[in-house]
């Protein structure tokens, strides 16, 4: 069996839940102190989902730009009880950032729905949609019925179907 290697030439190993959790939560932008239980569970579900490949989980931790410079991924999941917060951006990294925002409202939804939303946003990242110049990223200024037919959304839903998250309906 051939060992898969990353673009850096290192063997691709699926990050453990512990190290993936550190990667997502240690930025300081994810409230993991118990106020976002469903969101945390959805991150864990994605990390351990056997239909998501080792390479896909690993790729989220090794994002890079066109020049192969590393990019930091920030998952912003604020405490629902906070009215507002100020945080130093430099604390995260001096590298360019990709940001996923996960609304506190998620905690009011069914777990399966939260799992799907988290996987949806991870899919956008894996497909390179965090890059400002990505061709599929050009979204017109308003959303309509055709939103799900945008190239970026179609590509995301193909991945979600492969991962077993698709149930029909957007998000």
For 85, phi then psi, to 5°, come to: -150, 150
Smallest distance from Zn ion to CB 82, Å: 26
Smallest distance from Zn ion to CB 171, Å: 7
Burial (CB count within 10 angstroms: exposed 0-12, middle 13-18, buried 19+), residue 77: buried
- Select 31 or 153, whichever has its Cβ closest to Zn ion: 153
User: Judged by CB under 5 A, how many residues of this single chain contact Zn ion?
Assistant: 1
Smallest distance from Zn ion to CB 40, Å: 21
Distance CA 42, CA 114 (A): 6
- Select 38 or 116, whichever has its Cβ closest to Zn ion: 116
- Select 21 or 99, whichever has its Cβ closest to Zn ion: 99
Smallest distance from Zn ion to CB 97, Å: 19
- Select 56 or 153, whichever has its Cβ closest to Zn ion: 153
- Select 47 or 156, whichever has its Cβ closest to Zn ion: 156
Contact 72, 65 (CB under 8 A): no
| Per-residue x/- track, 128-157, Zn ion (CB under 5 A) | -------------------------x----
| Per-residue x/- track, 81-100, Zn ion (CB under 5 A) | --------------------
Smallest distance from Zn ion to CB 106, Å: 15
**Positions in the binding site for Zn ion (CB under 5 A):** 153
């Amino acid at each position: 069996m051939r060992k898969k290697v990353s673009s850096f030439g290192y063997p691709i190993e699926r990050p453990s839940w512990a190290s993936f959790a550190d990667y997502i939560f240690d930025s300081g932008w994810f409230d993991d102190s118990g106020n976002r239980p469903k969101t945390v569970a959805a991150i864990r579900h994605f990390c351990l989902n056997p239909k998501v490949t080792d390479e896909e989980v690993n790729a989220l931790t090794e994002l890079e730009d066109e020049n192969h410079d590393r990019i930091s991924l920030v998952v912003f999941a604020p405490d629902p009880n906070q009215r507002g917060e100020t945080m130093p951006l430099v604390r995260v990294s001096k590298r360019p950032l990709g940001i996923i925002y996960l609304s506190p409202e998620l905690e009011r939804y069914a777990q399966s729905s939260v799992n799907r939303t988290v996987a949806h946003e991870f899919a956008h990242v894996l497909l390179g949609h965090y890059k400002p110049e990505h061709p599929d990223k050009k979204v017109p200024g308003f959303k309509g019925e055709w939103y799900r037919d945008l190239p970026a959304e179609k590509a995301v839903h193909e991945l979600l179907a492969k991962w077993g998250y698709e149930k029909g309906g957007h998000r």
